[in-house]
Amino acid sequence: MAQKDFYAVLGVSASATADEIKKQYRRLAKQYHPDTNKGDAKSADRFKEISEAYNVLGDAEKRKQYDEMRRLGAFDPFTRSRPGGARPGAGSAGRAQTGGARVEDIDIGGFGGLGDLFSSMFGGGARGPRPSGPEKGQSVETTLEVPFRVAVLGGKVPIELEVNEECGTCGGSGAAKGARLQTCPECSGRGTISFGQGSFAVNRPCPLCLGKGQVPTEKCAACNGAGASRSHKKVLITVPEGIESGSKIRLKGQGGRGVRGGPNGDILITFQVREDAEWERDGLDLIVRAPVNIAQATLGSRISVVTLDEKRVTITLPKGTPSGKRFRVRGQGITKDKQKGDLLVEIQVVVPETLTAEQEKLMKQFAAAGGLEY
Ligand SMILES: [Zn+2]
Ligand SMILES: [Zn+2]
């Protein structure tokens, strides 16, 4: 069963000439031929895949049909993704990544799903009308960038998402008030239409009735008969303490409204932690840099450091503390799953760029006392 884009399988563009396709096929076939890769199951699979793709793309007539199918969107489910989507709400502490988080439909619910196209692609199996019972609402996935401090301490970040929801005016039927539903003239009520032929017969949801098998005598004006509308949803995200880049949470039932009484979809958030100029983390330990002057480092001193949650801790530097030395403050690190990390204060000895006349005189005396040249 082919599940892949044949052009991608061969690594050629969709506009490649027949000659280019042939050359590329020969190159790959040679590379993955079972005779030169004895016992290598991966190569054998790849060889099969390449042959399958070339069987179609190498034949002008089959390629034409295949291109037509691609054009009609048969491959959408595998490339589906929409730019934009999550936006931080007003006064947000978070920022959607790269000016608009990536939002992917991970469950396209009742609205024109094309997910099982491939199962019918080569078998030609017919699909009946789309189910009319309750369906789960749309689930959306997004990446949310949070400041370092919020990631460590937890907090709330408002975001705004775009979700597909059942049209509130017509309740998803797509029919105007008082309109009747009639058998769809495009698909004769099957909900799918076939195109292509032979090994390429493929069923896709009927574009007129969107797979429902019925169309209203008059369309709902609010959704133009689609039964769904795109809406903005504001959600206050609770960021758990101690998250890292890549941490995920699922907000069950916070996605798109369920269809015909079905459960709501979910929101899936992947966190991205913004870097901080001052703070760093290493596992559950927090690292902060504390600048001290040469006299403090040389003579020893007590310095005060403000923790991420704004507590003040005092650290005693012994005489002759070198730059880069770390002091551990127990239990002032990141809390996660009832474990607590430490705070590591890294000393940075700062060399003064300018000195007063008095300081310069003293520095010279200091050097002379040590027999140093300057
Ligand atoms: Zn409507
Ligand atoms: Zn139809």
How far, in Å, from the CA of 218 to the mean position of ligand 2?
A: 15
Q: Does residue 374 belong to any structural domain of this protein?
A: no
Question: What residues does 157 pair with on adjacent strands?
Answer: 237
Residue where a domain stops, chosen among 71, 102, 122: 71
pLDDT value of residue 132: 66
Domain count of the fold of the chain: 3
Tell me the CATH number at 169.
Answer: 2.60.260.20
pLDDT value of residue 374: 73
pLDDT value of residue 255: 87
pLDDT value of residue 340: 92
42, 94, 141, 205, 209 from 115: Cα distances, Å: 26, 33, 17, 10, 17
pLDDT value of residue 360: 94
How far, in Å, from the CA of 183 to the mean position of ligand 2?
A: 8
How far, in Å, from the CA of 184 to the mean position of ligand 2?
A: 4
Looking at the structure, do residues 3 and 137 belong to the same domain, yes or no? no
pLDDT value of residue 306: 93
How far, in Å, from the CA of 214 to the mean position of ligand 2?
A: 6
Radius of gyration in angstroms for the set of CA atoms belonging to the chain, rounded to a whole number? 32
Q: What is the span of the domain harbouring residue 326?
A: 279-369
Tell me the CATH number at 5.
Answer: 1.10.287.110
How far, in Å, from the CA of 219 to the mean position of ligand 1?
A: 8
pLDDT in tens, 340-362: 999 999 999 999 999 999 999 99
How far, in Å, from the CA of 61 to the mean position of ligand 2?
A: 28
pLDDT value of residue 131: 55
How far, in Å, from the CA of 193 to the mean position of ligand 2?
A: 8
Query: Closest ligand to 219 CA?
Result: 1
DSSP class per residue in 310-374? S-EEEEEEPTTPPTT-EEEETT-S-EETTEE--EEEEEEEEPPS---HHHHHHHHHHHHHTT---
How far, in Å, from the CA of 298 to the mean position of ligand 1?
A: 76
pLDDT value of residue 4: 67
Query: Closest ligand to 174 CA?
Result: 1
Q: Is the pTM of this model over 0.85?
A: no
pLDDT value of residue 114: 35
Phi, psi of 48 (to 5 degrees): -60, -45
pLDDT in tens, 24-38: 898 888 888 888 787
Looking at the structure, do residues 44 and 87 belong to the same domain, yes or no? no
- Where the chain has pLDDT below 70, the residues are 1-4, 72-132, 197-201
Look up tokens 């989507």; give the residue: 85
Looking at the structure, do residues 268 and 296 belong to the same domain, yes or no? no
How far, in Å, from the CA of 108 to the mean position of ligand 2?
A: 19
